[in-house]
Every structure is written in structure tokens, then in C-alpha cells.
């Protein structure tokens, strides 16, 4: 095998036996190394392709790796497992989950399904959602599952904490409902696989003997459950190669544990460590900026990206007066780039999804095509969820959640009272909701609803029978015909009906293409593929359009032109991180900045705004500390020398009048000296300009300006923790110190 690689890449490719840690900096060609390493194992070490596994995190990454491996390896590559963690575990569970009490045709619940199930749990346990949020409980359960804590282990760990009692009760009931529905939520997929391996050593040994060579991509993003899964699989032969970059560990909020990669040599004391530092993506200025920022973190492995690219352009920086000015100018620049770059070459990155709105408005005005990554997933749309619920009921009628979703869609005259009677009957007879529907004539008080329910059961049975003899597409078309679902949309939703029907047509196209590409696959496998699709997998690559996304969503992607926006303290890094005082949280936020910078290949534009409306409040935030960490010689554009202070910038009366004229409540600034007191709509203020005050959320600060309005005063305060903020006196409730 003849292949061009740098020395470190070649060393990583040809290291065969024992644990191997490849520290791969951004753009250093890690996927190339992984794919060629697989080919090297087969061509030079006579490893059977059947004994190789490669795992990554997204379907997109797995698909790219699969394509490269097929092209390089050729014959025999189909027996190599190349897939995501979740796809790997689902394949194992489909074959063996009956060993731990589930049926093989289990359903996979998405986020909406889990929320619906938790609503039922709250109702059964009589928990008031105003006092405890369902989403809060689901997050706690997800964290527990990531740490491999089932309901019993979670109870044992938290039984002394009275505040966790409701969480414990909810976890038990939630898990019981999942089992009853023969369903797994997303976190269960990996947890249950680990549980299967520990409960059934013979199953584990079977997969250990199969996968003698294991490769894991993006290892810095693994959580405890994923770490344990890989540890178990690799424990017999120990030929484990993990690839990752601790500087790109940005998913702590999802349970990722950076210590998995930082402690690799401690867990495998004979591990070989190879660093890939040559970058093939970005210009010298971009890499030097990224290196300068990340160097401020202490919890990392030392490395520095470099490039042999000779072309270079400085980083462009601009501070705007407002976020609207920022959005307008970014869109204008993208327009001007046309001719040199396509729309699809440009990406706008921001810290939070809420920042996308102003960019959207200007894109629409400029008639520039764009796509927001991380919006509503196609498969989470109401009409698609309905049709999927029909298919899921046909595939697994034990899933009460799906049956209840469609039993009266379209309306069949089966009301909430009848549904509750069926559920009560199912609970008292320890059967599924669908089984209880079969016995509706036996349920007291059902009346005419019993006949309607029987017709519904018969319809599902017909679809099950038809599926044995025909395709998923045939069954789906029959469902649409029998339910007149499209006609229902036309009647009920004149505003969005056309778009929803287009979504249904797209769903039919998906079924058709799936069956053409996978003629031997079952309905369960189709539903499994749909359940494992993520937001990034839905990025439309066929049309040239500007992509907008959070930095978290951008990881793994690259663009010739990047606009990194909203770079202010309080936005990026966030107030939550700044106020937490946690070094670990700030280091994760800095890694996020590092990821953002290294998405750019040719041109990096960075911007901030002096004022930004957040949650209806105008904020005046200082420049992001991460931008200050970039050497000034790398930046083209004027960097603020100090914090902007309104009383300095608008010291002259004419300037002040110009600044405040657009504020709906404002008049001219009130001329006050330190200690002066004024009265507001809410009574007397006991502070004036120059006084130290305290805010219940933002802590201590100094009053910088007070502006008189028709009903209240607007107070500008420079807070020690988060910079300048402008707020109404009546709402701020500032206390003079």
C-alpha cells in the first residue's frame, strides 16, 4: 500500500498491537489515518476485516469513514463494522436483548416521546409540573444513565437526599413504563448494552473475539457509559486505538468526560501516544490564534498546530454599535464574497441559538439562501410523528405511547374518557394498552366507543398482515388512504397545510429510497435508522446556502469563510460560566472558542457588539476575554483599548441626545452628581451616579448613568462580575451599599 503521509501519521498508521492514543489536532487528517490504518491491518498484518470495528459519534462521520474504507480496502470491507456508538449498540441489542427481558422489536424513543412518557409519570405520581419540571427530571435521569446508574443504583446513591425522592420515584416509574412499552430511550441504548455484557459474559466474549481490533474516533467526547462499553469490548485483546483532541472536548453538558482521554495512559500504562499537529485545513494566522487562546488552559495535553500553507490572511475583527449592525454587516459581507466564494462556503457561528434571529431577518431581506442547523428535526414534525406512530404501532403494538398518539388521529370519536378506561383496564390486568383495546367489549361503560376501538384494532392487524406480504411503502400508502390524513390536513390547516403535505411527500421519498437501498431490511430497521438521525445529518448539502449554527453544532465541520459573532463577555463566555467561578467551566468555554476558530479554512471574521438585546434587556458587555488572548499582530481591525463607558462616549449633550433618541422611553440624561437622589414611579431612589449598589443576580457594581423616562428611570450600572447593564429602576431593585 503506497500512501503519502507525514511521519507522525505514518507512525500512527503502522502501530498495530496494544493500546494506542492518537492526539489529533483540528484538521490534522485523523480520518485519513484511521481509514488507512484499517487498510494497513488488512494488507500488511493479515487481519481479517471481520475482526475490525470503527466507532464514531455521528452518522455523517460514520458515512464518510465507511465510504473511504470501502474505496481503500475494497473486497471484504463490508464485514468491517463502521458506525456510531448508538448504531453499534442497537445492532447488538436487536440480537441479544431478549437475554435481559426485552423483545427484539423494541422501539427507540426520541426526546418528544420521552417527554410524553414523563408527563404520564407525573400524572400517575400526582406531581405538580409547576413545582417540578418534567424536563428537569429527564435531565437528571439522563445524567444517571450516562453514569450507568439504573433506578436501584440511583436510589442507593441518593436515598439520604430528601430533595431527590421525587426524582427516584419518577425514575422507577419512567423505567417501568419503558419496559412495559418494550421501548428504550436514547440513553438506554448504550447503558443496556453494557448491562447485557455484564449480565451475559458469553455474549461479551463473542463480541470480544469478533472485534480484536477496535478504533474509536472523537474519544474526548465519550461519557462513562461509552468508556465502559469500549473498555469491556477491548479488555481481552487490548488492541484499542482511540483518536481525539482534548482541546475539542466541548460536550460536558451531554455527559462527556474529558478525563477519559487525559487519563488514557493511566488506564493503559503500556499505551503508545502519538501527536498529530500538522494542520491541513487552516491558514497560519488562524492556527496561531487558536494556539494562543487554548494555551491559557491548564487541563490539557501540550500541543501546537502548524501548517505548511503559504497563503495567509489576517483575522478580521470589528466591533459594532449594536447586534443589529453586526447582523446587517455580516450579511452584506457575505453578499460581497460572491464570485470569490459560494454561499455554501460561508458559515455564521454563535454561542446560542437565539442569536440567529437578526441574521435571518437580513438574509430574507437580501434574498440570500440560508439554513439553520439545529432547528426542528424533520422527524419531530407533527405530521411525520403521526405517520411514524402508525408504523411503530404496526411494528411494536406494546408501545402504549404510539398507540395512544394515533388511536384518535384522525378523529374516530374515541374520547379521553374512553382512553382512560382502557388504560385503567390495562393496568388492572397487567397488559399493554393495545391488548386492552382488543378486549374493549369487556370494559364496563365503553358503550359505542367499543365498536370504534375494535375497528382501530382490526385496521392495525390488517397493516401487520399486509407488511408480511408487501413493502413498508405499500403499508404507508394504505395508511394514508384509509385515514384520509392528507385530506384532513387540507381541511384543518389552511395556513401550513401545503408545507405539511410536502413533508409527508418527503417522508414517502425517504421510505422509497430506503427500501431500494436496503431491500432485505425490515420495518424495525427502518424505524431504527430514522430514530438515530441527528440534526447535523440533516444538513442539506445539495444546495448552496449559508449555514448558521451554534459552535457546538459546528464541531467536525469546516468552511472556507467563517463569521464568529457575538464575541462578548456574557455571551461568549456566557454569564453562567463567568458567574460560576469554576476554572473547569471556563476551560470548557475556551475549548469551545478554540473549536470555533479552527472551523475556518481561509478567512475568519470575528465580531462583537457594544449593545445587545437579551431577554428584552439591553446589555452592554465588554469584549470577550478570548479575543483579548489573540495576539494583536494577527488581527486586522481596531481592538477596543478599554471598556466602553457611556458617560465618556456620549459626554457632549448632542451626542447623548443622538444616542438616546431611539429608546422608546428615553429623554435626556439626568444631570446628577454623586449621592444625588431622585424619585421614580416607584418612589425615592436612595442612590445616584457614582454610588456603589448591589443587585440580587449580578452582585456589586457602580451606578454610571441615570436616564429619566415618562414612567421610570433607566439606570446604567457597571457590575464587577458581568460588565455594564442597563435596567429599569423599578425592576432592578438596586440596594445602595
Which residues form the catalytic set?
Answer: 30-31, 217-218, 248, 599
Beta bridge partners of 724: 620, 718
| Helices and strands: H and E segment counts in the chain | 32, 23
Residue pointed to by grid coordinates 456620549: 650
Quote helix, strand, coil % in the chain, to nearest 5.
Answer: 50, 15, 30
Q: How far is CA 410 from the centre of its chain?
A: 33
Q: CA–CA separation, 644 vs 718, rounded Å?
A: 11
Residue 305 belongs to what H/E stretch? none
Q: CA–CA separation, 320 vs 568, rounded Å?
A: 11
Q: CA–CA separation, 512 vs 353, rounded Å?
A: 34
Strands (E), 181-249: 183-185, 213-216, 240-244
Q: CA–CA separation, 19 vs 15, rounded Å?
A: 9
If we measure between CA atoms, which residue out of 23, 26, 24 comes closest to residue 598? 26
Asked if 308 contacts 280 with a C-beta cutoff of 8 angstroms, the reply is no
Beta strands at 213-216 and 713-719: parallel, antiparallel or unpaired? unpaired
Residue 232 CB neighbour total at 10 angstroms = 16
Q: CA–CA separation, 62 vs 49, rounded Å?
A: 17
Q: CA–CA separation, 400 vs 458, rounded Å?
A: 17
Q: CA–CA separation, 548 vs 566, rounded Å?
A: 13
Asked if 113 contacts 385 with a C-beta cutoff of 8 angstroms, the reply is no
| Spatial strand order in the sheet of 240-244 | 81-84, 52-56, 213-216, 240-244, 20-24, 272-276
Q: CA–CA separation, 313 vs 73, rounded Å?
A: 39
Q: CA–CA separation, 311 vs 601, rounded Å?
A: 11
In degrees rounded to 5, what are phi and psi of residue 158?
-125, 10
CB-based contacts of 718: which residues, under 8 Å, 6+ apart? Answer: 643, 645, 701, 702, 704, 724
Give me the torsion for CA of 39, 77, 272, 87, rounded to 10°: 150
Beta strands at 213-216 and 52-56: parallel, antiparallel or unpaired? parallel
Strands (E), 15-90: 20-24, 52-56, 81-84
Amino acid at each position: 500500500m503506497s500512501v503519502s503521509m507525514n511521519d507522525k501519521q505514518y507512525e500512527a498508521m503502522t502501530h498495530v498491537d496494544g493500546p494506542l492514543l492518537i492526539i489529533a489536532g483540528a484538521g490534522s487528517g485523523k480520518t485519513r489515518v484511521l481509514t488507512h490504518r484499517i487498510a494497513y491491518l488488512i494488507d500488511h498484518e493479515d487481519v481479517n476485516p471481520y475482526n475490525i470495528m470503527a466507532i464514531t459519534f455521528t452518522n455523517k462521520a460514520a458515512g464518510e469513514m465507511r465510504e473511504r474504507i470501502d474505496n481503500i480496502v475494497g473486497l471484504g470491507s463490508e464485514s468491517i463494522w463502521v458506525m456510531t456508538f448508538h448504531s453499534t449498540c442497537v445492532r447488538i441489542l436487536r440480537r441479544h436483548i431478549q437475554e435481559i427481558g426485552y423483545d427484539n422489536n423494541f422501539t427507540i424513543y426520541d426526546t418528544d416521546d420521552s417527554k410524553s412518557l414523563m408527563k404520564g409519570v407525573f400524572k400517575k405520581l400526582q406531581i405538580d409540573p409547576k413545582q417540578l419540571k418534567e424536563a428537569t427530571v429527564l435531565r437528571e435521569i439522563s445524567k444517571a444513565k450516562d453514569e450507568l446508574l439504573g433506578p436501584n443504583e440511583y436510589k442507593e446513591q441518593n436515598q439520604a437526599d430528601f430533595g431527590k425522592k421525587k426524582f427516584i420515584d419518577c425514575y422507577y416509574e419512567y423505567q417501568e413504563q419503558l419496559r412495559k412499552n418494550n421501548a428504550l430511550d436514547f440513553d438506554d441504548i448504550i447503558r443496556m448494552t453494557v448491562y447485557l455484557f455484564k449480565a451475559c459474559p458469553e455474549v461479551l466474549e463473542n463480541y470480544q473475539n469478533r472485534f480484536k481490533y477496535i478504533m474509536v474516533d472523537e474519544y474526548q467526547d465519550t461519557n462513562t457509559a461509552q468508556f465502559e462499553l469500549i473498555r469491556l469490548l477491548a479488555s481481552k485483546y487490548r488492541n484499542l486505538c482511540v483518536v481525539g483532541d482534548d482541546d475539542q472536548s466541548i460536550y460536558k453538558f451531554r455527559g462527556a468526560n474529558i478525563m477519559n482521554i487525559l487519563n488514557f495512559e493511566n488506564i493503559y500504562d503500556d499505551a503508545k501516544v502519538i501527536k498529530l499537529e500538522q494542520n491541513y485545513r487552516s491558514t497560519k494566522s488562524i492556527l496561531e490564534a487558536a494556539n494562543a487562546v487554548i494555551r491559557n488552559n491548564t487541563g490539557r495535553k501540550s500541543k501546537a498546530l502548524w501548517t505548511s500553507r503559504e497563503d495567509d490572511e489576517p483575522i478580521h475583527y470589528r466591533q459594532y454599535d449594536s447586534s443589529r449592525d453586526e447582523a446587517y454587516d455580516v450579511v452584506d459581507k457575505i453578499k460581497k464574497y460572491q464570485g470569490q466564494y459560494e454561499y455554501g462556503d460561508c458559515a455564521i457561528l454563535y454561542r446560542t441559538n437565539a442569536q440567529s434571529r437578526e441574521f435571518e431577518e437580513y438574509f430574507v431581506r437580501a434574498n440570500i439562501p440560508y439554513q439553520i442547523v439545529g432547528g426542528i428535526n424533520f422527524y419531530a414534525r407533527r405530521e411525520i410523528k403521526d405517520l411514524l406512530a402508525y408504523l411503530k404501532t404496526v411494528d411494536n403494538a406494546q408501545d402504549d405511547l404510539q398507540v395512544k398518539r394515533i388511536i384518535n388521529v384522525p378523529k374516530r370519536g374515541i374520547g379521553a374518557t374512553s382512553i382512560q378506561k382502557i388504560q385503567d383496564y390495562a393496568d388492572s390486568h397487567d397488559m399493554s394498552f393495545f391488548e386492552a383495546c382488543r378486549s374493549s367489549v369487556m370494559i364496563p361503560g365503553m358503550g359505542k366507543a367499543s365498536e370504534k376501538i375494535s375497528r382501530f384494532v382490526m385496521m392495525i392487524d390488517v397493516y401487520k398482515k399486509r407488511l408480511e406480504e408487501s413493502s413498508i411503502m405499500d403499508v404507508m400508502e394504505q395508511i394514508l388512504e384509509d385515514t384520509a390524513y392528507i385530506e384532513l390536513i387540507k381541511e384543518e390547516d389552511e395556513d401550513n397545510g401545503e408545507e405539511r403535505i410536502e413533508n409527508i411527500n418527503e417522508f414517502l421519498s425517504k421510505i422509497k429510497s430506503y427500501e431500494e437501498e436496503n431491500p432485505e431490511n425490515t420495518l424495525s430497521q427502518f424505524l431504527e435508522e430514522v430514530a438515530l438521525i441527528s440534526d447535523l445529518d440533516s444538513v442539506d448539502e445539495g444546495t448552496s446556502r449559508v449555514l448558521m449554527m451554534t459552535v457546538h453544532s459546528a464541531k467536525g465541520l469546516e468552511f472556507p469563510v467563517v463569521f464568529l459573532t457575538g464575541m462578548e463577555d456574557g455571551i461568549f463566555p456566557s454569564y453562567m460560566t463567568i458567574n460560576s467561578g469554576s476554572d473547569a467551566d471556563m476551560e470548557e468555554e475556551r475549548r469551545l472558542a478554540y473549536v470555533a476558530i479552527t472551523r475556518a479554512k481561509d478567512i475568519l471574521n470575528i465580531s462583537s457588539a457594544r449593545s445587545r438585546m437579551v431577554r428584552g434587556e439591553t446589555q452592554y458587555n465588554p469584549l470577550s476575554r478570548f479575543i483579548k488572548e489573540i495576539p494583536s499582530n494577527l488581527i486586522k481591525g481596531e481592538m477596543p483599548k478599554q471598556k466602553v463607558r457611556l458617560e465618556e462616549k456620549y459626554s457632549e449633550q448632542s451626542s447623548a441626545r443622538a444616542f438616546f433618541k431611539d429608546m422608546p422611553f428615553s429623554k435626556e440624561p439626568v444631570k446628577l452628581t454623586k449621592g444625588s437622589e431622585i424619585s421614580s414611579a416607584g418612589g425615592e431612589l436612595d442612590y445616584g451616579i457614582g454610588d456603589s449598589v448591589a443587585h440580587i443576580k449580578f452582585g456589586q457594581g457602580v451606578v454610571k448613568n441615570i436616564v429619566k423616562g415618562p414612567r421610570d428611570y433607566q439606570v446604567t450600572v457597571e457590575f464587577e462580575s458581568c460588565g455594564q447593564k442597563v435596567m429599569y429602576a423599578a425592576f432592578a431593585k438596586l440596594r445602595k451599599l
